Amino acid sequence: MPEFAVGASDALVVVDLQVDFCPGGALAVRGGDQVVPPVNRLLALPGWLKVATRDWHPPGHVSFRAQGGAWPPHCVAGTPGARFHPGVDASRVDLIVSKAARPEADAYSGFEGTALAADLRGRGVKRIFVCGLATDYCVRATALDGRREGLEVVVVEDAVRAVDLKEGDGARALEEMRRAGCRMARSGDIAG
């Protein structure tokens, strides 16, 4: 028996599974492309809402080093690096949420500066399953904001990967999510 049966009050939230966050990209997450198969299995499950967030920066974004930010230029809106990883079955995505699209503000969470919370509420979603990139940045922020929004949050552990700028960042982020009330699941324990 799968541990998690998903239905109309659930949503899958695929975070930033974009070319620039995968090996060969401008801000590559080690093993980032390895989440594509489990994410595609989840996208193929019927009966729930499927959301994909994307980092969608203007050129000259405040998070880029030339502007004093922490990162190399990445996920510039409309460029190849900002596309979803080509292996992702994007045709199954019901709702695309673009974030951090204003030059002067960064946003790691898919809820920050977007209509995601209202869209989920409007569709009666009570529980979100979070996967994608990166565990220690946008996955973490999205999962924690989901809790703040009053949602049940399940993190799909085999479908996330961390930047690990400092060793252990990913593991610490998972622990923080647990402490905030997020549950952990394996993708194989989720069924429609």
Q: Read off the tokens for 103.
A: 């030059």
H or E stretch including 43?
helix 36-43
**How many Å apart are CA 167 and CA 169, to the nearest integer?**
6
Query: Which amino acid, 141?
Result: A
Q: Is 55 in the site for Zn ion (CB under 5 A)?
A: yes
CB of 53 to ligand VGL, least distance (A): 8
CB of 7 to ligand VGL, least distance (A): 28
DSSP conformation class of 40: H
Quick check: is 99 catalytic? yes
- Region label for 78, one of left (φ > 0), alpha (ψ between -120 and 50) or beta (otherwise): left
**Closest to ligand VGL by CB, 48 or 71:** 71
Check if the beta carbon of residue 50 is closer than 8 Å to that of residue 14.
Answer: yes
Site string for Zn ion, 85-124 (x = CB under 5 A): ----------------------------------------
CB of 174 to Zn ion, least distance (A): 20
Q: Contact residues for ligand VGL (CB under 6 A)?
A: 16, 21, 55, 63, 71, 133-134, 137-138
CB of 41 to Zn ion, least distance (A): 26
Question: Which one of ligand VGL, Zn ion, none is in contact with 137 (Cβ closer than 5 to 8 A by kind)?
Answer: ligand VGL
Task: Print burial letters for 39-67: b (CB count within 10 Å at least 16), e (below 16).
Answer: bbebbebeebbbbbbbbbbeeebebbeee
Query: What SS3 class is residue 169?
Result: helix
Which residue is catalytic, options 22, 75, 131, 138? 138
**Closest to ligand VGL by CB, 77 or 123:** 77
Query: Which amino acid, 53?
Result: T
**Closest to ligand VGL by CB, 21 or 129:** 21
Which residue is catalytic, options 16, 33, 55, 106? 16
Other beta carbons within 10 Å of 33? 22
**Closest to ligand VGL by CB, 21 or 84:** 21
Quick check: is 16 catalytic? yes
**Active-site residues: which are they?**
16, 99, 138
Residue numbers at the binding site for Zn ion (CB under 5 A) = 55
